[in-house]
Structures are given as structure tokens and as C-alpha cells.
Structure 1
Amino acid sequence: MSGTHIRRARPADEDALAVLDRETWSPLHAVTPRPAPPYAPFFDERHRPEDILVAEDARGTVLGYLRLVAPTPLPSNGHVRQIQGLAVADGARGKGVARALLRASFDEARRQGAYRMTLRVLGHNTPARTLYASEGFAVEGVLPGEFRLDGRYVDDVLMGRSLVVADPVRDR
């Protein structure tokens, strides 16, 4: 999206990110119930500003965010970063914001020394799966019927991609 800037979140983004998170809640991607008052804070010990990339327009309006973290605290897993949340405001969808956040997350993960990127996506979330595949993610596993949402069993799809030209995991 022209004029979109990607940056790391700041504590002052708390309210805007919390509102965006509530407004973008959907059974297409959420396994938790719809948020209801009193709302939990957006930032906490597991969701820190330094783990969030924010997309904003030229006026500084938050358009979206991506949460990028180490999937586990294990040193043996330190070469992997995982996307654990991606949201784009309704008015900014279809304009390249999610793709810009993904590409910025690849750069950030590499800066942190990561070689791999992973994520989990619900099987029925075709738009997200298509986007991830177009950015180099491949399905690496499926947990069939892992969630029961709205009376239906939904698969949990595990996707991953390399962040390097020569993949040290696959090229051994």
C-alpha cells in the first residue's frame, strides 16, 4: 500500500492496537470467544511492544499489526520466529498491508538471527492461507479437527518457510 510505513510498536500504541484487535475479531481466524468488556490489555508479559510490527499510514493511523515471537524459550529453537497474530483494519484490506507486514517480519526475523518462520492458520481461512503461500510458506502439517468453532471441527494448519537462500535445515 502506497504510503504505508512499518515500524515496531510503542507503548503509546496500546489503545489503537486494542481497538483494531477487537474490530478485526472473526471466527475465520479466532479460536477464542469474541472479546467483551472488560477488555484485557493489548500489551502484557506475553504480548510486548517489541514483538509487534505496526503498519500505519502517512497520518500515523494504525492500519494493521503483526506479532512476531520465538515459538518457545528453548535455545535449540532460537533460529525460528513465529507469527502469532496478524490483523488489518477493514478499510485497509486488499491494499497490500498484510503483505507489507509479512515482508517486514521476514527482515526483522533475519535481523534477530532467525533462519525459519512458522505460523498456524485455521484450515477454513482460505484468504490467509493463499496470502501465506504466495509469500513462500508451505503447509508442513495439519492437526485435523483441532478446534470446534460454531459447531464445526476446524483444522489447525501449520505452515513454515525458510528465511535464507540456502536452508540449513533442508540442505544438510
Structure 2
Amino acid sequence: MSLAAETRELAPMTEGDLDAVLAIEAATAAFPWQRGHFADSLKAGYSGWTLRVGGQVVGYAMIMAAVDEAHLLNIAIDPALQRRGLGRWLLVRAMDAARQSGMFSMLLEVRPSNEGARALYAALGFAEIGRRKGYYPAADGREDAIVMQRALVEVQA
């Protein structure tokens, strides 16, 4: 797929997108979410977004709103298209959507071993605010989560 010639589109995730989302999830996660995780998130009213290039789903993000904070639950790009700026593009648009819906900050967890994601989040202004011990399943037991946060709007005094 030639990204230079294709239009990127952010679209709300629907049940009809789940086959494509699950294929990306299975290809990117050692312990992937199942269909029920995505379907239940959509039914609960979480903001699910797809990134489409040339009409094809190539990435997604799932965000839960809690009062005035957006919690990035899951985000992924098709492995064949990673390292081309699509993850950054998707996350920036998802942050914009959260800001427009009244969220003041975004919170996320990331594996310490996921250096690419950590670098992207840091480049976009996320800062480490804590750790969750044994948060993620791992091949050798459990892996901690680094908790990161970023303001979405400046607070006016």
C-alpha cells in the first residue's frame, strides 16, 4: 500500500470493523484483546476509532472517558505499516477528539519493553507518572506498566 498517495481518515469504530481490528490486534499483541473486549467497550460507550488508508482499516484506538480524563486503553497499527508515522497521526487525532469532547488530560499504560511506543508517547508530551506492578501478562510471568499522562488543554486561571 502506497501511503503517500492515499488519504488518511479517522472514523468511529463500529461492530463491522471488528474483524479488521482483531486481525491487527492479533498481529501486534502477544496477549491480544478478544472480540468481546472490543464489542463490550463499544457497547459501554467508549470511543473507538479506526484509521483508514485508502478505505482500509490499518489501525485503531480505544479510549475510555472518566470524568474529564481520557484513558487510552488500546492502540495499534498494522505491523506492515508501522514506522511510517501512522501511529503518531492516529494518536494525535484521538487526542484532538478527546479534547473536543471535554477531556483535560489523557492517561495510558505501556509496557517498559515496548520502547517504540514509549518513544512515541514521550515525543508527544506524555510523562511518566507512576508504575503498576505486574500489570501485564508476559511470557515469563507478569510485566509492570509505566503509567503516562499528558494534558490535553491548558488550564486557564
> What is the TM-score of this pair, normalised by structure 2?
0.84
Question: C-alpha displacement at 1:124, in angstroms?
Answer: 1.4
Aligned counterparts of 2:26 and 2:11: Cα–Cα separation in 1: 21
The separation in 2 between residues aligned to 1:154 and 1:41, in whole angstroms, is 23
Q: Distance in 1 between matches of 2:40 and 2:136?
A: 26
1:9 to 13, 22, 38: 13
Kept in 2: contact 1:84–1:119 (CA 8 A)? yes
What SS class does the counterpart of residue 123 from structure 1 fall into?
Answer: coil
How many residues matched?
152
Matched, 1:151 2:146: no
Give the 3 Å change call, closer, same or farther, for CA 145–50 of structure 1 in structure 2: closer
Q: Would you say 1:65 and 2:54 are equivalent positions?
A: no
Q: Is 1:99 aligned to 2:99, yes or no? A: no
Alpha-carbon distance, 1:143 to partner: 2.7
1:147–1:40: structure 2 CA closer, same or farther, 3 Å change rule? closer
Distance in 2 between the 1:22 and 1:147 partners? 16
C-alpha deviation, 1:151, in angstroms: 1.8
Q: Which secondary structure state, in structure 1, belongs to the residue aligned with residue 150 of structure 2?
A: strand
Contact kept? 1:17, 1:42, Cα under 8 Å: no
Q: Report how far residue 50 of structure 1 moved.
A: 5.9
> Against the structure 1 CA distance between its residues 45 and 144, is the aligned structure 2 distance closer, same or farther, given a 3 Å change threshold?
closer
* Cα pair distance change 1:103/1:40, threshold 3 Å: closer
Gaps of 5+ in 2: none
Match of 2:51 among 48, 55, 59: 55
How high is the sequence identity, in percent, across the aligned residues?
25
Q: Is the 8 A contact 1:8 1:52 kept in 2?
A: yes
* C-alpha separation in 1, matches of 2:140 and 2:38: 31
- TM (norm. structure 1) is 0.77
Report the 3-state secondary structure (helix = DSSP H, G, I; strand = E; otherwise coil) of the residue aligned with 1:44.
helix
Aligned partners of 1:146, 1:20: CA distance in 2, in Å?
Answer: 22
Letter in 1 for 2:29: W
Q: Is the 8 A contact 1:14 1:43 kept in 2?
A: yes
Counterpart amino acid of residue 39 in structure 2: D
Distance 2:19 2:144 in 1: 32
Which structure has greater strand proportion?
Answer: 2
Q: What displacement does 1:88 show?
A: 0.7
Cα distance change of structure 1 residues 88 and 162 upon mapping to structure 2, 3 Å threshold: same
* RMSD of aligned alpha carbons: 2.4
Larger Rg: 1
